[in-house]
Structure 1
Amino acid sequence: MADKGNEPVKPEKQQEHNSSLFDRFLNGIERAGNKLPDPAMLFFLLMVFVWILSAVLAPIDFGETHPLTGNELSVNNLLTGEGMANFLANMVETFVLFAPLGIVLVAMLGVGVAEHSGWISAGLKKLLSFTPKSFLTPMLILIAIVSHTAADAGYVLVIPLGGVIFYAAGRHPLAGIAAAFAGVSGGFSANFIPSAIDPLIMSFTLEAARILDPEIVLNPLNNIYFTGASSIVIVLVGWFITDKIVEPRLSDVKVDGDEDEIPEMETVTKRESRAFWLGFGAMLLGIIGLLLWALPEGSALRDPEWNNPEVSSLFSFHAPLMQAIVPLIFILLLIPGVVYGYASGKYKSSKDMINNMSKSMESMGYYIVMAFFCALFIDAFAKSNIGLLIALKGANFLQSLALPGQVTIVGIVFLSAFVNILVGSASAKWALIAPIFVPMLMQLGISPDLTQAAYRVGDSVSNIITPLLPYFPLVVVFCQRYVKKTGIGTVISMMLPYSIIFLIVWTAFLLLYWWIGIPLSFESNYVYPAP
Structure 2
Amino acid sequence: MKNIPEETTEKKAGLLNRALNGIEIVGNKLPDPAVLFALLLAAVWVASWAMSNVSFSELDPRSGQAIQIKNLLAPVALTEFISKLVNTFVTFPPLGVVLVAMLGLGVAEYTGFINAGLRSILNVTPKILLTPVLVGVGVLSHVAVDAGYVLVIPLGAVIFYAAGRHPLAGIAAAFAGVSGGFSATFFVPSSLDPLLAGLTQAAARLSSDPAAASIVINPLNNYFFTTASTFLVIIIGWVLTDKFIEPRLKNTPVDADPADLPKMDALTPNERKGLRWATFAMVASLVLLVWSALPETSAWRSPTNAQLTHSSAPLMQSIVAIIFVFFLIPGVVYGYVAGTANNHRDIIKGMSQAMSGMGYYIVMAFFCAQFIFAFGQSNLGALFAIKGAGLLKEMALPMSVTLIGIVILTSSVNLLVGSASAKWALIGAVMVPMLMELGVSPDLTQAAYRVGDSSTNIVTPLLPYFPLIVVFCRRYVKSTGIGTLIALMLPYSIAMLVLWTCFLLGFWALDIPLGIGSTYAYPAVP
Q: TM-score, normalised by structure 1?
A: 0.64
Asked whether the 8 Å contact 1:398–1:408 carries over to 2, the reply is no
Question: How many angstroms apart in 2 are the aligned matches of 1:332 and 1:513?
Answer: 30
Change (3 A) 1:412 1:101: closer
Q: Please state if 1:126 is matched with 2:115.
A: no
User: 1:337-486, aligned counterparts within 5 Å?
Assistant: 337-402=331-396, 407=398, 409-411=400-402, 413-414=404-405, 418=409, 433-437=435-439, 458-463=448-453
Q: Which amino acid aligns with 1:344?
A: A
Change (3 A) 1:428 1:126: same
Q: Which residue of 1 aligns with 2:276?
A: 277
Question: How many angstroms apart in 1 are the aligned matches of 2:379 and 2:223?
Answer: 32
Report how far residue 410 of structure 1 moved.
Answer: 1.1
User: 1:66-85, aligned counterparts within 5 Å?
Assistant: 66-67=60-61, 70-85=64-79
Report how far residue 347 of structure 1 moved.
Answer: 2.4
Change (3 A) 1:113 1:26: same
User: 1:175-254, aligned counterparts within 5 Å?
Assistant: 179-185=177-183, 232-233=231-232, 235-237=234-236
Report how far residue 299 of structure 1 moved.
Answer: 0.9
Q: Which residue of 1 aligns with 2:295?
A: 296
Question: Once the two structures are superposed, what CA deviation does each residue of 1:51-87 show, in whole Å capped at 9, x if it has no partner?
Answer: 2222223333343234566443343322222222122
Question: Once the two structures are superposed, what CA deviation does each residue of 1:440-488 show, in whole Å capped at 9, x if it has no partner?
Answer: xxxxxxxxxxx99975664443455999xxxxxxx9777798899xxxx
Q: Which residue of 1 aligns with 2:153?
A: 166
Q: Which amino acid aligns with 1:120?
A: I
Which of residues 321, 332, 338 in structure 2 aligns to 1:327?
Answer: 321
Question: How many angstroms apart in 1 are the aligned matches of 2:65 and 2:425?
Answer: 20
Question: How many angstroms apart in 1 are the aligned matches of 2:388 and 2:241?
Answer: 33
Question: How many angstroms apart in 2 are the aligned matches of 1:239 and 1:53?
Answer: 50
Say what the alpha-carbon RMSD is for the aligned residues: 5.1
Q: Structure 1 unaligned runs (5+)? A: 1-13, 145-153, 205-220, 252-263, 308-312, 439-450, 468-474, 527-531
Change (3 A) 1:142 1:266: closer
Change (3 A) 1:294 1:509: closer
Change (3 A) 1:463 1:18: closer
Partner SS, residue 308 of structure 2: helix
Asked whether the 8 Å contact 2:38–2:371 carries over to 1, the reply is yes
Report how far residue 359 of structure 1 moved.
Answer: 2.1
Change (3 A) 1:513 1:426: same
Q: Which residue of 2 aligns with 1:471?
A: none
Question: Once the two structures are superposed, what CA deviation does each residue of 1:206-251 show, in whole Å capped at 9, x if it has no partner?
Answer: xxxxxxxxxxxxxxx9999988876654554577789989xx9xx9
Change (3 A) 1:61 1:418: farther
Change (3 A) 1:412 1:359: closer
Q: Which residue of 2 aligns with 1:10?
A: none
Question: How many angstroms apart in 2 are the aligned matches of 1:382 and 1:174?
Answer: 42
Report how far residue 174 of structure 1 moved.
Answer: 9.9
Question: How many angstroms apart in 1 are the aligned matches of 2:468 and 2:432?
Answer: 35
Report how far residue 281 of structure 1 moved.
Answer: 0.7
Percent of aligned pairs sharing the same letter: 37
Q: Which residue of 2 aligns with 1:314?
A: 308
Question: Once the two structures are superposed, what CA deviation does each residue of 1:150-177 show, in whole Å capped at 9, x if it has no partner?
Answer: xxxx5x6355335421122236989857
Q: Structure 2 unaligned runs (5+)? A: 1-7, 158-167, 205-219, 253-262, 414-422, 472-481, 522-526
Change (3 A) 1:364 1:370: same
Question: How many angstroms apart in 2 are the aligned matches of 1:68 and 1:327?
Answer: 34
Question: How many angstroms apart in 2 are the aligned matches of 1:40 and 1:73?
Answer: 30
Asked whether the 8 Å contact 1:280–1:336 carries over to 2, the reply is yes
Moved more, 453-462 or 71-80: 453-462
Question: How many angstroms apart in 2 are the aligned matches of 1:102 and 1:222?
Answer: 18
Change (3 A) 1:414 1:457: farther
Report how far residue 115 of structure 1 moved.
Answer: 1.1
Which of residues 85, 92, 107 in structure 2 aligns to 1:91?
Answer: 85
Question: How many angstroms apart in 1 are the aligned matches of 2:67 and 2:456?
Answer: 25
Change (3 A) 1:27 1:300: farther
Asked whether the 8 Å contact 2:149–2:465 carries over to 1, the reply is no
User: 1:43-82, aligned counterparts within 5 Å?
Assistant: 43-67=37-61, 70-82=64-76
Question: How many angstroms apart in 2 are the aligned matches of 1:27 and 1:371?
Answer: 30
Q: TM-score, normalised by structure 2?
A: 0.65
Asked whether the 8 Å contact 2:107–2:347 carries over to 1, the reply is yes
Question: How many angstroms apart in 1 are the aligned matches of 2:61 and 2:435?
Answer: 8
Question: How many angstroms apart in 1 are the aligned matches of 2:237 and 2:367?
Answer: 32
Change (3 A) 1:80 1:105: same
Report how far residue 374 of structure 1 moved.
Answer: 2.4
Moved more, 410-419 or 424-433: 424-433
For these two proteins, the number of residue pairs brought into alignment is 433
Partner SS, residue 73 of structure 1: coil
Q: Which amino acid aligns with 2:32?
A: D
Q: Which amino acid aligns with 1:303?
A: S
